Homo-oligomer: A and B are copies of this chain.
Amino acid sequence: MISTELYQQWDDLSESERVDAFRELPRERADEFFLGLSSRDQVGLLLALPESERRSWLRLLPPDDAADVLQLAPEEERANLAAQLDDVTRREVNALLAYKEDAAGGLMNPRFARVRPDMTIDEAISYLRRQADHLETLHYIYVLDGSQHLLGVLGFRDLFSADRWKLVRDVMRTEFISVSEHTDQEVVARLFSKHHLLAIPVLDGDGRMQGIVTVDDIVEVVEQEASEDIQKVGGMEALDGPYLQMRFWQMVRKRAGWLTILFIGEMLTATAMGHFEEEIERAVVLALFVPLIISSGGNSGSQATTLVIRAMALGELRLRDWWRVVSRELAAGLVLGSVLGAIGMTRIVVWQAFWKTYGEHYVFVGLTVACSLIGVVLFGTIAGSMLPFVLRRMGLDPASASAPFVATLVDVTGLVIYFTIASVILRGTLL
């Protein structure tokens, strides 16, 4: 079990320790070990090895994994690495690199197990034996006609449990899920998770089979898409790599962009507050509750936007569901706002009873705070839940309606709501 341990230690080893440990493995273990590394670790190891040793390891990789390695390698090393591939694989890799990285074509493996419809089961099994050497793993067996049109699919169970003299065409399943080369990887991932598949065939516009996307690549896709969404929800551009491996300035740039946009938006709060300067001067007590009120709007908005973004990413919500969401969030906002309003009112009454903090008009101050909380929380949930729909309708990524973005929007509006309610309730007493 040497190499299992090595996987576990891998992250803690320096580059030269990795090379040394890898070279100590006997060849057949090293093969398996190399294939089991993530693409990122494969690139790291390849580049750490002397050029003369790279070829044999790189040639172990099936075309889709070789394409991933090339894509992750630094620009200046790509041509060099590609030159180490054999001609057939290099052509396949170049074809794969032409597809968009996040479409089915960019994920697919052009090598798959194929049989003809008029073979017997026994003939199919021996035909597969001859193909096995060129294939990475066998997920399903695809039945193609002479011009590569996909006619049906066989599982191993179908193959192994069928009578050996039957024809493939009589055993194959003709109901199957397929995607085109241009299907987005999120859509592909959803098909996998919904139908518990091991591989999905990729067909071109004429129904000719181009390759398969396999479920093991999809786990990475799902994690990567979730990371992007989480980082966007947290209010920044998605990072492309592990936190500790990002270059410092690149990371700061990705964070500074959104932070600056949010800051400039948030400047409107200073403008809004400026309009109410006189009110604050007359009733300083109003200023005390500004952070409490606007942050409550921000928090409820951030909950709502997160819920809707995630539900959209998982395909649970579509554009036309906006009306059902709005009516739900309207009710939720009223309930949540009332809860917070009641707590806020209680706080003011209790503090007043003990410390006389809020002056003789404390009941009106309390009412102002409570009504503002209902209004602000309601606005927060509605804005937070609808913004992803608006962004999506405009063709943008709904995940950009991040928690901080919604909070900023709600902060400005929240101030206006608060001071407007104050000027109504407190007219004649404090204002």
Contacts and interface: CB of A to CB of B under 8 A. Distances in A.
A372 interface: no
A64 to B, nearest CB: 11
B137 A161 contact: no
Given A219-B219, A223-B226, A287-B287, A266 B295 contact: yes
A392 interface: no
Contact of A236 (B137, B234, B306, B339): B306
Main secondary structure of the interface of A (DSSP, over half): helix
Given A125-B125, A230-B233, A295-B404, 4 more contacts: A215-B219, A229-B230, A230-B230, A274-B357
Contacts of A234: 233, 302-303, 305-307, 403
A36 B259 contact: no
A244 B306 contact: no
Given A160-B138, A256-B336, A310-B227, A290 B291 contact: yes
Nearest to A339: B256
Interface string A175-186: 111000000000
A155 B216 CA distance: 15
Most chain B C-beta atoms within 10 Å of own C-beta, residue among A291, A303, A415: A291
Given A222-B219, A311-B244, A266 B287 contact: no
B215 A307 contact: no
B339 A260 contact: yes
A46 interface: no
Nearest to A406: B234
